[in-house]
């Protein structure tokens, strides 16, 4: 029996693609190896979003090279966004790689493995969503749903449009059928994935009727029996319309959490980023969300040190963060990416300035998140149990509908929904005790 090992870098789309790769390999008779050393097929699913992502992966390639030289019959494969961004160059730079494929070409791996080709092969077409592959889920009760591939935005810092191609939405009926299959398999929480989820459907053929949009998709998924929670990532502030905001108030399964990437609080920088919204428009979306769902949790992505960002621009980012009081944020130092407009802009911000701004930003984000999290103390929240706590194995860990990690004492099993009385909160996590009264009442 042949054994495989997959190392995944990058975002949830890569996590999902890796689950599909694993499912596909197991259908070909491969089994998963616990360690890379034990594998006949060594795979990397790569990311290229920032330079640090490239470097992390290239360090791993050294190990693969050694393993390949020890046993030349091993197959080394590199998939994902980094592979797409360098294409066939990968074979010149890393001659021990046997197969390379872009994010849209996961299924071609099977073609390669079942052919008797001995030469290095690269697969880099963009052809929309590559069909129904079996999935090997990390947790049987949580599933991903890829609603579209690619991205039609042109954010000037971003490599993704060149690694994932133009946006292609999957038909609504195919998505609903997939969610029904997931629910039949025991999935209760589904996360819809796309680079700009609320542009969903715009590219679908109309045939006289209006194409399905994102709000309609949400309500169709909400109607599937067995789905308790719906999440999605990421919406674009430009396309965050009232119908989607209302859906958060109206659809029982749609969680009270929105990840709304800000990137910068300065309209001038947003323009240079080609983000197509202003600070005012963004704050207006936040106000509308809070009007319809007062308790909504908001998280965001922010880039510090975009070319030309002045102290005044940065102060505006801090101002927005103070004002919104995010429940959490991913903060990134701007990283010039090959082939992007922003990489060649003048006025690149010196590294020490980026680092210093990052420290100030993190202080504001954490302080506001900690303050905001106190609203949960004293409340009883529904938690989906994921497993043991990472820091204390005598405790359990799960997530609230607001997407807060909750560590708690209790009797629950992974996959169960339980009521947890929240006793304390930090910027990142909540802590409490399972309500045994609620357990007894079930
Ligand atoms: N499509 C999603 C996010 C894709 S990438 C969206 O638009 O929200 C995830 C995050 O990485 C982005 O939101 C951005 O904050 C960050 N990012 C992307 N390119 C970057 C770069 N060149 N340097 C630093 N951060 C970057
Ligand atoms: Fe990149 Fe912008 Fe598309 Fe997000 S919306 S993937 S940041 S180009
Ligand atoms: Fe995701 Fe990284 Fe590609 S963030 S879309 S795997 S560049």
* pLDDT for position 208: 58
Q: Are residues 194 and 300 in the same domain?
A: no
Instruction: Specify if 286 maps to a domain.
Output: no
CATH number at residue 402: 2.40.50.140
Total number of residues shown for the chain: 442
Going by C-alpha positions, the residue among 405, 380, 404, 387 that lies closest to residue 396 is 387
Q: Are residues 232 and 332 in the same domain?
A: no
Going by C-alpha positions, the residue among 7, 92, 16, 76 that lies closest to residue 45 is 7
Coil, strand or helix at 158: coil
* pLDDT for position 134: 82
Q: Minimum-distance ligand to the CA of 156?
A: 2
CATH number at residue 356: 3.30.750.200
Distance from Cα 196 to the centre of ligand 2, integer Å = 7
* pLDDT for position 280: 97
Binding-site residues, ligand 1, Cβ < 6 A: 49-50, 157-158, 160, 195, 234, 236, 261, 263, 301, 303, 332, 334-335, 337
Q: Which atom of ligand 2 is nearest to the CA of 263?
A: 7
Q: Are residues 391 and 427 in the same domain?
A: yes
Q: Is the CB of 342 under 6 A from ligand 2?
A: no
Q: Are residues 370 and 382 in the same domain?
A: no
Find where tokens 């693969």 sit.
64
Instruction: Check whether 370 has a pLDDT greater than 80.
Output: yes
State which of 13, 105, 162 you would mutate to test the pocket of ligand 3, scoring each by most atoms of that ligand within 8 A of its C-beta.
13
Tens of pLDDT, residues 425-435: 999 999 999 99
Distance from Cα 184 to the centre of ligand 1, integer Å = 34
* 8 Å CB contact between 244 and 214: yes
Mean pLDDT of 348-356: 97
Atom 2 of ligand 3: nearest residue by CA position: 47
Domain that holds residue 222: 137-255
Binding-site residues, ligand 3, Cβ < 6 A: 10-11, 13-14, 47-49, 80-81, 159-160, 163-164
CATH number at residue 234: 3.30.750.210
Task: Report how far residue 104's alpha carbon sits from residue 80's, in angstroms, rounded to the nearest whole number.
Answer: 8
* 8 Å CB contact between 172 and 220: yes
pLDDT interval class at 111 (50, 70, 90): confident
Instruction: Specify if 233 maps to a domain.
Output: yes
Atom 1 of ligand 2: nearest residue by CA position: 158
* pLDDT for position 204: 87
Instruction: Specify if 276 maps to a domain.
Output: no
Domain boundary, last residue among 317, 340, 374: 374
- Lowest-confidence region among 12-16, 82-86, 132-136, 323-327: 132-136
* pLDDT for position 135: 84
pLDDT interval class at 129 (50, 70, 90): confident
Task: Report how far residue 32's alpha carbon sits from residue 26's, in angstroms, rounded to the nearest whole number.
Answer: 8
Find where tokens 């034990």 sit.
38
State which of 237, 303, 307 you would mutate to test the pocket of ligand 1, scoring each by most atoms of that ligand within 8 A of its C-beta.
303
What is the β-pairing status of strands 148-149 and 168-169? antiparallel
CATH number at residue 90: 3.40.50.12160
Q: Are residues 7 and 119 in the same domain?
A: yes
pLDDT interval class at 139 (50, 70, 90): very high
Mean pLDDT of 204-232: 89
Q: Are residues 227 and 171 in the same domain?
A: yes
Distance from Cα 196 to the centre of ligand 3, integer Å = 13
Q: Minimum-distance ligand to the CA of 46?
A: 3
Atom 5 of ligand 2: nearest residue by CA position: 153
Tens of pLDDT, residues 43-76: 999 999 999 999 989 889 999 999 999 999 999 9
Task: Report how far residue 21's alpha carbon sits from residue 8's, in angstroms, rounded to the nearest whole number.
Answer: 11
Instruction: Specify if 128 maps to a domain.
Output: no
Distance from Cα 426 to the centre of ligand 1, integer Å = 26
Task: Quickly list DSSP for 345-375.
Answer: -S-PPPHHHHHHHHHHHHHHHHHHHHHHHGG
* pLDDT for position 210: 59
Domain boundary, last residue among 66, 100, 123: 123
Q: Minimum-distance ligand to the CA of 80?
A: 3
Q: Are residues 396 and 434 in the same domain?
A: yes
Distance from Cα 159 to the centre of ligand 3, integer Å = 8
Instruction: Specify if 403 maps to a domain.
Output: yes
State which of 155, 163, 332 you would mutate to test the pocket of ligand 3, scoring each by most atoms of that ligand within 8 A of its C-beta.
163
Instruction: Specify if 131 maps to a domain.
Output: no
Give strand pairing partners of 380. Answer: 421
* pLDDT for position 209: 61
Q: In what order do the strands lie in the sheet with 142-146?
A: 142-146, 189-193, 229-233
* pLDDT for position 131: 67
Q: Are residues 385 and 368 in the same domain?
A: no
Tens of pLDDT, residues 255-287: 999 999 999 999 999 999 999 999 999 999 999
Tens of pLDDT, residues 282-338: 999 999 999 999 999 999 999 999 999 999 999 999 999 999 999 999 999 999 999
Tens of pLDDT, residues 152-174: 999 999 999 999 999 999 999 99
Instruction: Specify if 117 maps to a domain.
Output: yes
Instruction: Give the helix ranges, DSSP H, for 120-167.
Output: 160-164
Q: In what order do the strands lie in the sheet with 297-304?
A: 257-259, 297-304, 328-333
Tokens of residue 101, six digits:
């494929």
Q: Which atom of ligand 2 is nearest to the CA of 158?
A: 1
Q: Are residues 391 and 314 in the same domain?
A: no
**Average pLDDT, rounded, for the chain:** 94
How many domains does one find in the chain?
Answer: 4
Q: Are residues 166 and 241 in the same domain?
A: yes
Q: Are residues 312 and 408 in the same domain?
A: no
Instruction: Specify if 282 maps to a domain.
Output: no
State which of 9, 11, 15, 49 you would mutate to test the pocket of ligand 1, scoring each by most atoms of that ligand within 8 A of its C-beta.
49
Q: Minimum-distance ligand to the CA of 49?
A: 3
Domain boundary, last residue among 338, 353, 374: 374
Q: Are residues 349 and 385 in the same domain?
A: no
Atom 15 of ligand 1: nearest residue by CA position: 301
């Amino acid at each position: 029996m042949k054994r495989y090992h997959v190392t995944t870098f990058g975002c949830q789309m890569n996590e999902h693609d890796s689950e599909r790769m694993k499912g596909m390999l197991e259908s070909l008779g491969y089994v998963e190896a616990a360690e890379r050393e034990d594998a006949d097929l060594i795979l990397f699913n790569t990311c290229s979003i920032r330079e640090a992502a490239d470097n992390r992966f290239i360090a791993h390639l050294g190990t693969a090279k050694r393993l390949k030289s020890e046993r030349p019959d091993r197959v080394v494969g590199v998939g994902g966004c980094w592979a797409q961004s360098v294409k066939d160059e990968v074979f010149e730079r890393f001659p021990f790689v046997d197969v390379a494929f872009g994010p849209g070409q996961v299924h071609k791996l099977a073609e390669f493995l079942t052919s008797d080709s001995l030469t290095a092969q690269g697969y880099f077409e963009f052809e929309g969503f590559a069909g129904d592959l079996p999935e090997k889920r990390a947790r049987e009760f949580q599933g991903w749903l890829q609603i579209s591939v690619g991205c039609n935005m042109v954010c000037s810092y971003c490599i993704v449009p060149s690694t994932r191609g133009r946006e292609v939405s999957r038909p609504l009926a195919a998505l609903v059928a997939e969610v029904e299959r997931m629910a039949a398999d025991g999935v209760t929480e589904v996360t819809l994935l796309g680079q700009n989820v609320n542009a969903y459907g715009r590219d679908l053929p109309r045939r006289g009727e209006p194409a399905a949009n994102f709000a309609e998709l949400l309500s169709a998924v909400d109607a599937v029996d067995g789905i308790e929670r719906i999440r999605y990532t990421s919406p674009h502030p430009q396309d965050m319309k009232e119908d989607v905001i209302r859906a958060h108030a109206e659809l029982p399964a749609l969680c009270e959490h929105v990840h709304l990437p800000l990137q910068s609080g300065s309209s001038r920088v947003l323009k240079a980023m080609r983000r197509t919204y202003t600070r005012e428009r963004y704050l207006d979306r936040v106000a509308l969300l809070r009007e319809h769902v007062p308790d909504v949790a908001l998280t965001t992505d922010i880039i510090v040190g975009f070319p030309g960002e002045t102290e005044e621009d940065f102060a505006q980012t801090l101002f927005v963060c103070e004002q919104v009081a995010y429940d959490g944020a991913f903060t990134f130092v701007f990283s010039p990416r090959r082939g992007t407009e922003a990489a060649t802009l003048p006025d690149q911000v010196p590294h020490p300035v980026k680092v210093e701004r990052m420290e100030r930003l993190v202080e504001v984000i954490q302080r506001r998140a900690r303050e905001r999290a106190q609203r949960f103390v004293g409340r009883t929240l529904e938690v989906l149990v994921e497993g043991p706590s990472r820091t204390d194995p005598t405790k359990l860990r799960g997530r609230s509908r607001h997407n807060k990690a909750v560590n708690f004492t209790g009797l629950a099993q992974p996959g169960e929904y339980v009521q947890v009385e929240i006793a304390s909160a930090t910027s990142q996590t909540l802590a409490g005790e399972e309500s045994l009264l609620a357990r007894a009442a079930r």
